[in-house]
DNA sequence: AAAATAAAAACGAACGTTCGTTCATTTTTG
DNA sequence: CAAAAATGAACGAACGTTCGTTTTTATTTT
């Protein structure tokens, strides 16, 4: 009884999620400011005024979405649990697992850019400062005593890691439908990982 | 007389540029949809209705800006003229020159993301397909007969090149003010270039 | 199990504001 | 002196939010 009652979501919770789902779709399609509360209400299947029983404002919907559906939320635990015999295997796994998760819903990456463009990183800074202290130690631990790493600055290693992933998705979303897409290797993610690990040049300095 | 008259900009041209300058500032600060025609008029120093003597609509202002001030416009000729004894020197120069130019006005990179977020890449696709055919041959020429390159796919080489630059600016704009910024090496651009050229691992496969 | 009841949720009209654009008019320019 | 540019009031439409009301839900009392 206790278990069952606890798992049954209340009507309000269901509606709240419906609003979030409708809003995130519209935000990704059109951006934040171009999306109206009426559009959100329509797609969520309720009246305009009903939204305000669950969210105090439009911006509060966006904040809830950013917190709930931010890609880092999903990726972080995966990276933390990534394993491998050596550094190379570890990083390859980390990339694989990260791109795999993000790749299943690549458009959620767009939330980051909406935040960047339309809010000037207003919420992003706080999110970043929440995430960074958790991830940085992982890279610090990773580096310790590993002779096979050329890059030994943990902050640089972390940033370049996520930088590669971000640039992968941007170019994927922008380029995939263009001429260049047809000339790219089939497994672009693997190619990107390879460049990240070994660079584009044959000979190391 | 002929020379002087040709170089003196007409009043209309001056105003048109003032509108573009005001608009690009506001778009970068707030995004496209959050910026109003009244704000643009105020900052450009003319009345609301006056804008429509120079632009037919708000979107036309944005289109003009994207075409005139797109970072690729400035970067392209620089990359095309980049030189170097070997592949490494060439790429280092190309990166240096690219980041140097973009770095002087890094916020113009944001126009790309505004276009991506608020127009869903509406103009971006056409711009990309205009630029790509010009840049791709450069990378193809670059690759021919160069044994020191691990990556021999020109499309991949090009994409990873610009991907690195894009990711550099995103993380620079997002991270620079956070905790991580203080832990980063001073010359992040050089560190990024180094990773692009040689990877993060010491030993090549 | 049924009835009662207070809280939560849904409704849709209405509010005041702001939006992009138009227009008739005046001023400035070449 | 004709064309170009600037003006600011005005337009209808759309915006986020509020409000009084009705309906539905979840819980308590019979």
Q: How many CB pairs under 8 A join A and B?
A: 220
Say how far A53 CA is from C8 C1', in Å: 9
Contact (CB<8Å) B117/A87: no
Which residue on chain B is closest to A183 by alpha carbon?
A: B155
pLDDT for A92 equals 86
Q: Is the pLDDT score of B3 beyond 60?
A: no
Measured between beta carbons, the chain A residues lying within 8 angstroms of B148 are 201-203
Chain B, residues 128-187, CB within 8 A of chain A, namely 128-129, 132-133, 136, 147-151, 153-160, 162-164, 166-168, 170-171, 173-175, 177-180, 183-185
pLDDT for A96 equals 87
Look at A51 and B133; give whichever has higher pLDDT.
A51
- Write the Ramachandran bin of B145: left for phi over 0, alpha for psi from -120 to 50, otherwise beta: left
Strand C lies under 7 A from the Cβ of residue B6: no
B191 close to A (CB below 8 A): yes
Report the nearest residue to nucleotide C8, CA vs C1'.
A12
Q: What is the mean pLDDT of residues B165-188?
A: 80
Which positions ≥6 away from B185 have C-beta within 8 Å?
Answer: A153, A156, B191
Strand C lies under 7 A from the Cβ of residue A133: no
Contact (CB<8Å) A198/B199: yes
**Lowest-confidence region among B31-45, B78-92, B181-195:** B78-92
Q: Say which of A33, A87, A147 has its CB closest to residue B34.
A: A33
- As a whole number of angstroms, the distance between CA B20 and CA B180 comes to 35
Could you tell me if B150 and A201 are in contact, meaning their C-beta atoms sit under 8 angstroms apart? yes
Look at A125 and B191; give whichever has higher pLDDT.
B191
Which residue on chain A is closest to B177 by alpha carbon?
A: A125
Distance from A149 to chain B by nearest Cα, in Å? 5
Contact (CB<8Å) A200/B201: no
Give the single-character DSSP code of B37: H
Q: Is the pLDDT score of B162 beyond 70?
A: yes
- Write the Ramachandran bin of B38: left for phi over 0, alpha for psi from -120 to 50, otherwise beta: alpha
B204 close to A (CB below 8 A): yes
Contact (CB<8Å) A170/B154: no
pLDDT for A103 equals 78
Q: Is the pLDDT score of B9 beyond 50?
A: yes
Q: Which residues pair with B149 in a beta bridge?
A: A201
Reported confidence tier of residue B205, pLDDT bands at 50, 70, 90? very low
pLDDT for A133 equals 83
Contact (CB<8Å) A125/B178: yes
pLDDT in tens, chain A (205 residues): 333 334 678 888 999 999 999 999 999 999 999 999 999 999 999 999 999 999 999 999 999 998 888 777 788 788 878 877 777 888 888 888 888 888 777 778 888 889 989 998 888 666 777 777 888 888 888 888 777 888 989 999 988 988 888 888 878 877 766 777 788 888 888 899 999 999 988 764 4
Report in angstroms the alpha-carbon separations of A47 from A50, A77, B78, B89: 5, 38, 55, 62
Measured between beta carbons, the chain B residues lying within 8 angstroms of A125 are 174, 177-178
């Amino acid at each position: 009884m206790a278990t069952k009652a606890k798992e049954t979501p209340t009507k309000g919770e269901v509606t709240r999620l419906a609003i979030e789902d409708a809003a995130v779709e519209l935000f990704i399609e059109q951006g934040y400011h171009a999306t109206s509360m009426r559009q959100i209400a329509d797609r969520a299947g309720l009246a305009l005024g009903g939204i305000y029983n669950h969210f105090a404002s439009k911006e509060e919907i966006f904040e809830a979405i950013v917190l709930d559906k931010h890609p880092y939320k999903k990726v972080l635990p995966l990276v933390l649990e990534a394993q491998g015999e050596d550094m190379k295997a570890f990083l390859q796994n980390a990339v694989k697992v990260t791109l795999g998760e993000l790749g299943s819903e690549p458009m959620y990456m767009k939330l980051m850019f909406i935040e960047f463009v339309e809010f000037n990183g207003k919420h992003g800074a706080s999110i970043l400062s929440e995430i960074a202290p958790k991830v940085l130690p992982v890279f610090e631990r990773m580096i310790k005593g590993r002779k096979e790493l050329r890059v030994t600055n943990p902050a640089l290693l972390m940033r370049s890691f996520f930088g590669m992933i971000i640039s992968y998705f941007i170019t994927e979303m922008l380029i995939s439908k263009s001429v260049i897409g047809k000339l790219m290797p089939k497994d672009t993610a693997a190619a990107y990982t390879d460049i990240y690990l070994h660079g584009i040049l044959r000979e190391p300095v």
